[in-house]
Amino acid sequence: MWSAFQFFRKYPNVLVVCTGVFVSMLGFGMIFPLFPLYAELFGATPTQIGAIASMFALTRTGLATVFGSLSDRYGRKKLIVYGFLFYAVVMSTFAVAQNVSHLFILRGLQGVASAMVWPSAQAVVADSTEPKERGRAMAYFSAAWQVSMIVSPAFGGFLAQLYGYRAPFLITGGVMLPIALLIQFYVSETIKSNISILTVHEPLKNRLKTSAREIRESAFFFTLVGLMVAAFISTFGITLINPLLPIYAETKVNATLTHITLAYTLMGLTGTVFRIYAGSISDRVGRRFLILSGNVCASLLTFPMIIIRTPFQMIGILSTRAVGWAFSDPATQALLSDVVDENKRGKIFGLYATVSGAAMILGPFVGGALYEVYGGEFSFAVCGLLCLAASAVLFLMIKEPSE
């Protein structure tokens, strides 16, 4: 505890950003496991639910690199603040949606807000810390939203049962305004630029060409490409099943809403506990080992979901699987920061989000179709194989600056 206090005292930006992430994810955690069930109330099919999830990824993918690049040139803080304000409007509007078309539109707008906030927030954390402590900082950043997942899914399920599915959306929208104010008044800008906002509107095509050229010219070309390719493959595999996981649990093992929200809560708990330690370990022993071991473990633990027979087997497997991702995620984000110059981090984090987002567009849509035709078991098998393939890419391509 004292060690964490000293760390946050040394890096106040990390504390404020993590606090903002924690509070915002309290809201998102409430609605995440409920959203497929909420969409079903409007008559959405599994394919439509997957397509709605893809709308979020579509807009986030198209704009993450754009907003990340803007944060490199114009500053991080304004984009984060404006993004949270936009979140407030969008999430509140979900509560008054009337049909499936409204859900499509709102999920797309939610992706715009996400593209504004998350690449810039990650860049602030990376900018604000020394390389020898960056893994720990990224672990705290990741743990901030994982801690929210400990209580928020169960709380969201409780609210939905008492007041209906619209209540969690209204609460989520309501918490975004104080977060925006917190960031505005207590985060110090990490990018000092005299560039006018009128000069930053570089065409998207040129911006993407610049990003590709910078990666080609990097001394860590293979590492960056390996991280991007693996992110695409594993995210595609994961999003084949994630949007439909509550429905799979409901039909496969007769899981109730309480079982489903408990599963997400325990996933958050185990992920948080191991994530914090994993970040510090990666600072001491290196990023590569934790990235590889975490990815392989999480991949292998996907396959038992095919043969689950009870809700508690599902809860146990998903909670254990979360440990693997907890080991790999902070180390991945830290390695991405380590091999990129400070004045390009927003763009690279944005590009990483774009690559992941492209997979998030395809994954839910393909997953919904596979689910309808072949069933959930087939989708989990494909997910596990794809995640193992991503682990192989990482093994062959990534290295650390010290290597």
Domain boundaries, the chain: 2-187+204-397
Task: Find the helix or strand (DSSP H, E) in which 266 lies.
Answer: helix 257-285
Give the DSSP letter of residue 310.
S
Among 389, 398, 345, which residue's Cα sits nearest to residue 134? Answer: 345
Write down the pLDDT at residue 48: 84
**Residue type for 114, please?**
S
383, 302 Cβ separation under 8 angstroms: yes
| Gap between the Cα atoms of 31 and 88, Å rounded | 14
pLDDT digits (tens, 9 = 90+) for 118-129: 888 888 888 888
Tally Cβ neighbours within 10 Å of residue 209: 11
Distance CA 129, CA 63 (A): 26
| Confidence tier at 354 by pLDDT (50, 70, 90) | confident
Q: What does the alpha-carbon distance between residue 146 and residue 28 come to, in Å, rounded to a whole number?
A: 11
Percent of the chain with pLDDT over 70: 91
Confidence (pTM): 0.70
For 104, 160, 296, 350, 361, the CA distances from 60, given in Å and listed in that order, are: 14, 27, 27, 9, 9
**Closest C-alpha to 275, from 297, 300, 296, 294:** 294
- For residue 205, is pLDDT > 60? no
Cβ atoms within 10 Å of 349's Cβ, excluding its own: 28
Q: What is the mean pLDDT of residues 1-25?
A: 82
Residue with tokens 């590569």: 288
CATH number at 2-187+204-397: 1.20.1250.20
CB-based contact 399:334 (threshold 8 Å): no
Say what the pLDDT of residue 196 is: 44
Q: Give the per-residue pLDDT at 392.
A: 96
Helices 345-374 and 100-127, axial angle in degrees (round to 10): 140
Q: What is the pLDDT of residue 382?
A: 93
Average pLDDT, the chain: 83
Of 140, 143, 147, the residue nearest 126 (C-alpha): 140
> Please, are residues 183 and 84 in contact by the beta-carbon 8 Å criterion?
yes
